[in-house]
Structure 1
Amino acid sequence: MSDAHDAARAYLKVHAQYRPVDATFMGLPGHDHQLPPAGADSVEAELAALTALQGTLGRLDAPRTAAARIDTRMLDAQLTTVLAEQRRSPRQHNPAWYTGEAAFSVISLLLPGHHGDAQDTRDALRVRLEAIPAFLAHGRSHLQGRPRPDDVAERARREARAAAHLLTSGLPKHPLWDDALRLPAARAARALVGFAEDLAGPGAPVACGENHLDLLMRVTHALPFGPREALERATEAFERLTGTLEAQAARLPGDLPWTEHLARLEQIGPEPERMLDTFRDLHERALDAARPLLTPAADYGLDFRLLPEWAEGTGDLYFLFYRSPAPDRPGQGSVYWVTPPGADLAAYRRANNSAFVKLVHAVHHGSIGHHTHNARAREAGSVLARVAGTDCASGIALLGGGTMVEGWACYAEDLLAEAPGFYTPAEELLLTQFERRNAASCIVDLKLHLGEWSLDEARAFYRDRAHFAPARVWAETTRNAMFPASRVMYWLGTETIKELRRELALDPRTFHDALLSYGHAPATVVADEMRAAHAPPGAPA
């Protein structure tokens, strides 16, 4: 192993060994039948493997290309991050890790994006189902008497019950089902229910502390500042954007507060029978509107379908509308799930109002958002930047890619405001509120893990100041608690891209196509490479 790409591939082998469900989502072969090692020595064995890899970094050839530099920086950061997290608070000590991995070890094999042979996939599914009871039993051993936040334990309970429902009610409706799966599915479901019932234990604080938060920001996300400066920036932005919302609302007819304008947007939406067509039409409109600004991924399909019957009841799981295609086996296109209407059609239309479908589904996730970015990432020169943004059981594969992954998707929402007529003035108000909510999430992430706010205080801020939907607040703050520095990446990533665009002053298509060509590397790392590539003659290196 002499160069950065070889070292990155060596890391992915270790990653797949200890996180085989991630490997399935990445499309890495040979792991579809496995669950993560969870025995008594699993933490120590992983630490030893990662430490050995870290020891090879100093012996690598000096990187000569942008792709090699990116792999070097990402690998160093990833090893430092995982080692720090496994020493501080191993994921094996989190009950929701077990429920997420168990559920998505199954779901990862059921999704249309899994392009393996049907019988091989069915066999892998059976083996994973058979392994779930022992996996959860190991989890009980790791968790015995160990403090954990009460809300994280509650999330695990909800996930376990949802996964059990999937195995007993959903899986038999899937095309892969056959009778050989019946007994292992029933045993796995019983094990999940038992796991949920056995999660009583001492509570624990949620804050990771300033030192670890600083590491996640400066090393993992490669930001040039730590949590205190980030908090100051996000707080200033939140207040400034509040003023912007008020000014925008004053320019709209009706003399209404901005909250009322947004409430009225929720009443404008397609009839339920037109929902699929609306998703498709807005996706295509976004692709067309963006063409003067960048090159969209029009050569890789996105198929909008109603959520299948087998997946109903998965709401307490990390079951995404859009999930990034497996980088190593993406096929010819991917699927975007659209929730079918329920009994309350008025609530269904509000949840899928036209503005929300346009901004979130058609732009942020579809068209030029994650859809285009994922297609470009698969062609990146960096090994790790091709896979970092892969959606796995609880989040993306490598947290360090998040400022680019989510930063771009949020930036893409704003970018289409540059396409004449794409947004209405009221929709531009919603754009500002989305940016304000990203700043709010950044504030909560930081204050929670600095120990300045409790979960109750964070929830009050989300509800009363940031105007999150009440039904979303509990899940959002619990996710904040479990994954420190995972919500800072939205707003800080977007800000990094905006600042870079102002600095380089390239024409839009050149800038955006170049930016996306680097894949899922941290936004600041991409910025460094773009500065070097586009520096004017005679500028210092």
Structure 2
Amino acid sequence: MNGLQHLVDRYLDLFARTRPVDATFMGLKGHDGQLPPSGSEAVRQEQAELTALLQDAEAAGLTPDTPADRLDLFLLRSQLRVTLREAQERPRQHNPAWYTGEAAFGLISLLLPGPQPTRAAAVTARLQAIPAFLEDGTRTLTPLNLPPDWVERARHEAAALEALLRRGLPLHPDWQADWADPAADAADAVQRFGTRLTPGTADPACGRAYLEFLMREAHALPFTAEEAEGLAAAAFGTLRADLEAMALQRDSGRSWREQLAALELQHPALDELPGTYRIWHERALDAAAPLMTPAREYGLNFEFLPAWAREAAGALYFLFYRSPAAQAPGTGSVYWIFPPGPDEDAYLRGQNVPFIKAVHAVHHGSVGHHTQNARARQAASRLARLGGTDGASGIAFLSAGTLIEGWACYAEDLLLEIPGFYTPAEELLLKQFEMRNAACCLADLRLHTGRWSLDEVRAFYRDEVGFAPGRVWAETTRNSIYPATRLMYWLGTRAIRALRAELPLQVQDFHDRLLSYGHAPVTWIAAELRRITAPQGVA
């Protein structure tokens, strides 16, 4: 449909101009030297363009007759509606961590290894753009009543970015002498930005109406926040009871927390970590072969985080695994292993084999995000190839979330169907992960509908869910900034399981078809798969 694809072209042009850092991560060309337009006039201009494009898309009267076109139209309308309402009610320019994240990953997106050499001129241009970008941010943020935790997060990120600019960047193998002066100017600007931020008292909750809008328009979920809360609360209670029963059966003298803590002793030596990651990645690829078609055609290399990124990475959205650029993926990508800090023993306990297997080898690597992204790059829908791109703060299209995170969590449990892949103790760990996802869905809903405060969410995560104390603040602050993101893990997994039980497809066929659509809501994929599997004459 030429009319539809013209609209998609217009949207991608607008997206790249207003979100050039995400465009770099996607592999879209032409914007690598830019940071996002951020002044008040730029915000008004973006809203005007979004409104005009949405009106054109809705007035076009398009009736696509292929799955790819139907998905492109859905994603186009979804993105326009979600982005426009965000700009009107909860603009990203009103979040101080948006400025630090975009500035940091504007550089990092160009410095990570990839199929093309480092674009030195683009690095220079983004370094030079940081001071004005952050000055715009200060002018925008100064009159606002900001949630205090958002300010604290931005300050942490500003300190990390300053460390990257002053000490990390000169360690990059492609360091250029002419980066020195603009890097120093940028570092000074980052320091000023952080010191000028003033925490306020604003409630970070988005409200029920906005949350349900995201559930409906982005995730295409068929229920209200109240209905979703009921499902998540019931599941949390059941899974908590299941976890306690499993622990009791395994060892009546130790709680589930104690049994899971004992898994931390099962760790390799420091120099064995890359090999351990790779071994379990490859074993997972082999084990899953009867259940799906793993992505073996695209490489994944396990390496310790490079020296230039080490000081800055911890406070930033620096992922172990980042989705390869859909438009320029090359032949493989890197999976980063974060290096130890001052306490090597604590670090190695965190690098235990059960966690490496479930989280690094399966959820992120092998048949999890690694395979899902490889299949998405081959999707017929143009927008579905791009929506799951990891950007400066999260995935590019919220609508991709139930499939991306739903699939990766589902993949962890999928390998339970292969006898011997997990030990009984590791099965207990997976049950805790599932309980945690239901709990985080519940917290997302209760925080943003106003039932729980941020402090109540933190107490729940710490006391009931079993999050490591050091992770609670960062996790909950992120939840408060991005509503309807934590719910997509459990609700996405739930939808995939229900769809598999419903459809008359062989297991491998089901999984391969599911992933073939790319980055799309699971509920939308379900509707398309029902079309295919419906008896002839029934649609």
Is the structural similarity TM-score above 0.5?
yes
- 1:369–1:409 Cα contact (<8 Å) kept: yes
**2:83 paired with 1:82:** yes
| Post-superposition CA distance 1:79-114 (Å, at most 9, x none) | 11111110002111111100000000000000113x
> What SS is found at the alignment partner of 1:465?
helix
- 1:145–1:202 Cα contact (<8 Å) kept: no
Counterpart amino acid of 1:77? S
> Could you say which residue in structure 2 is the equivalent of 1:516?
515
> Could you say which residue in structure 2 is the equivalent of 1:63?
64
Match of 2:289 among 288, 291, 300: 291
CA deviation after TM superposition for structure 1 residue 60, in Å: 4.9
Q: After the TM superposition, which segments of 4 or more aligned residues of structure 1 sit over 6 Å from their partners?
A: none
Mean alpha-carbon deviation: is it higher for 374-383 or for 34-43?
Answer: 34-43
CA distance in structure 1 between the aligned counterparts of 2:328 and 2:502, rounded to whole angstroms: 37
> What SS is found at the alignment partner of 1:146?
coil
**2:262 paired with 1:270:** no
> Could you say which residue in structure 2 is the equivalent of 1:411?
410
> What SS is found at the alignment partner of 2:465?
coil
Q: CA RMSD in A?
A: 1.1
Counterpart amino acid of 1:184? P
**2:479 paired with 1:463:** no
- 1:324–1:390 Cα contact (<8 Å) kept: yes
Structure 2, gaps ≥5 residues long: none
| Post-superposition CA distance 1:184-219 (Å, at most 9, x none) | 001101111110000014321111111000100011
Counterpart amino acid of 2:45? A
> Could you say which residue in structure 2 is the equivalent of 1:19?
19
CA deviation after TM superposition for structure 1 residue 254, in Å: 5.3
CA distance in structure 2 between the aligned counterparts of 1:485 and 1:250, rounded to whole angstroms: 35
> Could you say which residue in structure 2 is the equivalent of 1:282?
280
- 1:296–1:367 Cα contact (<8 Å) kept: yes
Mean alpha-carbon deviation: is it higher for 268-277 or for 127-136?
Answer: 268-277
- 2:147–2:199 Cα contact (<8 Å) kept: no
- 1:5–1:382 Cα contact (<8 Å) kept: no
CA deviation after TM superposition for structure 1 residue 505, in Å: 3.6
CA deviation after TM superposition for structure 1 residue 249, in Å: 1.2
- 1:2–1:60 Cα contact (<8 Å) kept: no
CA deviation after TM superposition for structure 1 residue 536, in Å: 2.8
- 1:297–1:372 Cα contact (<8 Å) kept: yes
Structure 1, gaps ≥5 residues long: none
| Post-superposition CA distance 1:339-388 (Å, at most 9, x none) | 22344221111111111000000000000000000000000011111011
> What SS is found at the alignment partner of 1:532?
helix
> Could you say which residue in structure 2 is the equivalent of 1:73?
74
**Count of residue pairs the alignment pairs up:** 537
- 1:245–1:429 Cα contact (<8 Å) kept: yes
- 2:32–2:122 Cα contact (<8 Å) kept: yes
Counterpart amino acid of 2:137? G
> What SS is found at the alignment partner of 2:336?
strand
CA distance in structure 2 between the aligned counterparts of 1:373 and 1:395, rounded to whole angstroms: 17
CA distance in structure 2 between the aligned counterparts of 1:357 and 1:534, rounded to whole angstroms: 37
> Could you say which residue in structure 2 is the equivalent of 1:125?
123
- 2:146–2:198 Cα contact (<8 Å) kept: no
CA distance in structure 1 between the aligned counterparts of 2:117 and 2:429, rounded to whole angstroms: 44
Counterpart amino acid of 2:29? P
CA distance in structure 2 between the aligned counterparts of 1:434 and 1:6, rounded to whole angstroms: 43
Counterpart amino acid of 1:133? P
CA distance in structure 2 between the aligned counterparts of 1:259 and 1:407, rounded to whole angstroms: 25
TM-score (norm 2): 0.98
TM-score (norm 1): 0.98
CA distance in structure 2 between the aligned counterparts of 1:269 and 1:37, rounded to whole angstroms: 46
CA distance in structure 2 between the aligned counterparts of 1:365 and 1:5, rounded to whole angstroms: 32
CA distance in structure 1 between the aligned counterparts of 2:327 and 2:61, rounded to whole angstroms: 25
| Post-superposition CA distance 1:150-201 (Å, at most 9, x none) | 0001000000110010111111000121110000001101111110000014
- 2:407–2:493 Cα contact (<8 Å) kept: yes
**2:224 paired with 1:223:** no
CA distance in structure 2 between the aligned counterparts of 1:254 and 1:221, rounded to whole angstroms: 42
Counterpart amino acid of 2:287? A
> What SS is found at the alignment partner of 2:335?
strand
| Post-superposition CA distance 1:464-507 (Å, at most 9, x none) | 00010000000011001100001010000000100000000421
Counterpart amino acid of 1:300? Y
Identity rate, percent: 57
> Could you say which residue in structure 2 is the equivalent of 1:453?
452
